[in-house]
Structure 1
Amino acid sequence: MGSRNFRLSVVLRVLALIATIVLMVVLFLLTDYYLTSLLVLIVLIYEVYSLISFVETTNTLLTNFLESLRYSDFSRTYEISGAGKSFDRLNESFNQVISDFRKVREEREQNYFYLRTVVEHIGIGLIAYRQNGEVELINNATKKLFQLVQLNNLKELESVSPELMNGLMNISNGDNILVRIRAKDEILQLAIYATEFKVSDKNIRLVSIKDIQSELEEKEMESWQKLIRVLTHEIMNSITPIASLTQTLDYLIKDVRERYDNIFSDEGEAEVVEEVEMALKTIHKRSTGLLHFVESYRNLTRIPNPNYSIFSVSRLFETISSLMKEEIHRKGITCEVNVEPPNLELSADEQLIEQVIINLVRNSIQALEKTDNPRISMKSLLDQRGRILIQISDNGQGILPEVLDRIFVPFFTTKPKGSGIGLSLSRQILRLHGGTLTVHSEPDVETIFTLRF
């Protein structure tokens, strides 16, 4: 029974079984030892059961092996001792297959975690979802973009933007769409691209979402700068000679009149000369004014690169409040200053940012001229994405919705004496800092300009 050969073990078990059967027959037929015969019968039943179990060892081993594969349980090892060389090879083969599957699973898990880490750390938003809107995957960039903790279904995006939800639900494979979301103090211009694939029996749609608002603003400003360079160059080249010639002619006429006082003795001739002089002065004045006008727009292309330093936002506000204190007090305006946390510090060009805030405060002062209980607020805080915000707000007349998107366009102004350069220059300064300048306005209620770094 302890033989190491499977065949010999089976043969011995069969022979023992035959001997037991013969003994039992002899006892039943030739003797009266019924109790002994019963014991022999019990031994016979045990031998049959043992033989069946021994023969089915390979089936049990194979069943366990297949269940391990089915349930991905690769922690088992297979070993049957004392069953011969054929079983030793079977054990070795089973264990080798299990080891290979374990390595494949480990590699697959490593690849999965690697890809998962890449997806989580990539800067572009990714959402994978089914056609019914059930979300299969969402990365951290998407959660950060839409201020989400978790997203289980696209219908939950309706609170963020109905246009965004409808766009994601209706986008087709290979489509590119643009969705604009205007929040109270921020504008998102989203470029969305979709692709579809099938996993098992599920149709999955994968979309990438990127906020291109800053890129659009940068390209827009670059286009304006190129246009301004061309226009100012051509205008300066044309106007400068005119201004110079008119001034020269004016000097010549004065010189002639002083030298030859009697040359224009006729009253009509003298009047004509005076008209010519007046016309030359007008042309010169307008030419000079146009030159100054054009020169002011060159500032959009001459902004120096930021000289970065770390400074306290509270100190910045104190400096601006001191500079504007007299004018604000004279206008009867209440000025509120709030920095949260009080020790908040900003890395930027302090002088350029100071210039932007002063420009915005002056705009607020002008907007409050016909407002009862005028109020200006300067505050700084961290937004939900951890970025520093500076907000300048007032309760003045506000900005009409139809012109809200045009106030940052160079040359556009709603002021009678405005040049249309202040807000464009301010936005360009923020762009050089890698930030944005946005506005939210409710006429006669509140207007908020937000500097986001």
Structure 2
Amino acid sequence: MVYKNFRVNCIVRVALLALTILALFHLIFNLGFHISSILVGVIIIYQIYLLIHYIEKTNRYLTHFLEAIRYADFSRSFQIEGLGSSFDLLKNSFNEVIKDFQKIRSEKEEHFHYLHNVTQHIGTSLIAFKKNGKVEIINNAAKKLFRINNLKNILFLEKFSKELVNVLLTLKSNEKALVKVPIEEELLELSIYTTEFKVRNHIITLVSIQNIQHELEEKEMEAWQKLIRVLTHEIMNSIAPISSLSSTVNLMIKEIKNCVAQEDPDKIETFDDIQNAMLTIHKRSVGLMHFVESYRNLTRIPKPNFKIISVQNIFNNIQTLMEKNIAANDIIFTCSVEPYDLILSVDEELIEQVLINLIKNSIRALENIKDGKIEMKAFLSKQGKSIIQVIDNGLGISKEALDKIFVPFFTTSSKGSGIGLSLSRQIVKLHGGTISVSSRTDEETCFTIKF
């Protein structure tokens, strides 16, 4: 018997149970059918079980609903048919709640994917890690910065710099730090900013890392150019009159000396001393003007005339130009290009000037060195960048000098002017590249140009 209403179904079941109980009493007390009464008793027990099971149907529906929420199974839908309007309301409420949870879950997933895509595509390097160093998030910019495919623990960055890892683990929230990190023979100036937040009772440290090396170099070079413009302007304004006057006075003394020579020959020696002094002043002022003019070159580099050039041709030209100088110093010079047909879009004259400056530095570093060697090579990096290196086995450069090596006016040679390397860096920057140096004292110095 099927009823379409929960209440009617319960009433009918209770009524049948009551009738069965009355029948049991009738069989026992009126008819004395004890065996039949046992069978009726079993029927009564079964009816009670069915009634309880039927009444607890709402509990089972509620249990299924709560389990769906507990295990985040929002694919379920509840179908409660034929139990009356109150159960229809319960069914609708269950399904509405499930739909709301589905919507919330969908929105969370969309928000997660949105943040994930933003994190991965942003240009700033981001790393999120726990207190034990376990990395939760690392974006593409950070992988590109450190030249890695993945990072499981922040401690793995010790292979680049222990100082970097120490800063990452000890830097307090909302604080900044600057760290120099060598990566693939390139010294990077990293700006680090950290913030902390709590997720599921775990403290997460979010670190943003930016390589500001290029910006610092540009600002530094801009400052030096401004200083050089001011200095050269003031010095030239002061020296030009001195040079002109000393030349004029020298001519006047020469004329006076000729006149005095006829009247009083004994005074000729005095005039000779004065003339020599004026000549010295003139020569020094002219020399100083040439010196200042050479520094003006730092602010007058012509705009590169880019052309597709074979690196092998550039190397051949350099070898021809520097051949006598290298041979005179008894230096072994080697060149290599891999692949052989490697090409660059550069201004050939400017890049040759850079390489000549680097080779001249290497020659000076190899003075009084037996079995001196200079190697110039070009190749492609793993990232597909064109790289040119000039390597020598000379005295090397001290750590203190490495930081200043590209600064105008700075030189480690008594014969140097401090122009060559700073000029080279400017030329490379005009080509959109970088130049760096690494050195091991008394072993090797390597200048690396990346395009």
Give TM-score, length-normalised by structure 1.
0.91
Among candidates 282, 292, 295, match of residue 293 of structure 2: 295
Offset of residue 159 of structure 1: 2.7
C-alpha distance 41-310 of structure 1, shift in aligned 2 (>3 A): farther
Classify the secondary structure of the residue corresponding to 1:126: strand
Provide the residue aligned with 1:406 in structure 2.
404
Provide the residue aligned with 1:442 in structure 2.
440
C-alpha distance 160-414 of structure 1, shift in aligned 2 (>3 A): closer
Amino acid at match of 2:132: N
Offset of residue 42 of structure 1: 4.4
Q: Does 1:176 align with 2:213?
A: no
Worse-superposed segment, 121-130 or 332-341: 332-341
Cα distance in structure 1, aligned partners of 2:302 and 2:104:
58
Provide the residue aligned with 2:45 in structure 1.
45
Q: Does 1:451 align with 2:445?
A: no
Give TM-score, length-normalised by structure 2.
0.91
Offset of residue 32 of structure 1: 6.9
Worse-superposed segment, 325-334 or 195-204: 325-334
Classify the secondary structure of the residue corresponding to 1:198: strand
Cα distance in structure 2, aligned partners of 1:235 and 1:396:
37
Provide the residue aligned with 2:216 in structure 1.
216
Classify the secondary structure of the residue corresponding to 1:419: coil
Provide the residue aligned with 1:248 in structure 2.
248
Provide the residue aligned with 2:381 in structure 1.
383
What whole-Å deviation, never above 9, does each CA across 1:104-153 have from its counterpart, x for those lacking one? 11111111111112212222222222233333222232233233343333
Cα distance in structure 1, aligned partners of 2:346 and 2:427:
10
Assess if the C-alpha contact under 8 Å between 2:366 and 2:394 holds in 1.
yes
Q: Number of residues paired by the alignment?
A: 451
Offset of residue 222 of structure 1: 1.4
Provide the residue aligned with 1:110 in structure 2.
110
Cα distance in structure 2, aligned partners of 1:313 and 1:4:
90
Cα distance in structure 2, aligned partners of 1:145 and 1:69:
43
Assess if the C-alpha contact under 8 Å between 1:264 and 1:270 holds in 2.
no
| 1:41-440 aligned within 5 A | 41-182=41-182, 185-255=185-255, 261=259, 264-440=262-438
Cα distance in structure 2, aligned partners of 1:70 and 1:142:
37
**Structure 2: where are the runs of 5+ without partners?**
none
C-alpha distance 270-349 of structure 1, shift in aligned 2 (>3 A): same
What whole-Å deviation, never above 9, does each CA across 1:307-353 have from its counterpart, x for those lacking one? 33443333332332333344434544333223334444434433322
C-alpha distance 75-184 of structure 1, shift in aligned 2 (>3 A): closer
Offset of residue 229 of structure 1: 0.7
What whole-Å deviation, never above 9, does each CA across 1:384-416 have from its counterpart, x for those lacking one? 444332111011222233323222121122223
Amino acid at match of 1:290: L
Cα distance in structure 1, aligned partners of 2:209 and 2:46:
72
Assess if the C-alpha contact under 8 Å between 1:126 and 1:142 holds in 2.
yes
Classify the secondary structure of the residue corresponding to 1:148: coil
Assess if the C-alpha contact under 8 Å between 1:184 and 1:440 holds in 2.
no
Assess if the C-alpha contact under 8 Å between 2:394 and 2:444 holds in 1.
yes
Assess if the C-alpha contact under 8 Å between 1:176 and 1:191 holds in 2.
yes
**Structure 1: where are the runs of 5+ without partners?**
none
C-alpha distance 269-150 of structure 1, shift in aligned 2 (>3 A): same
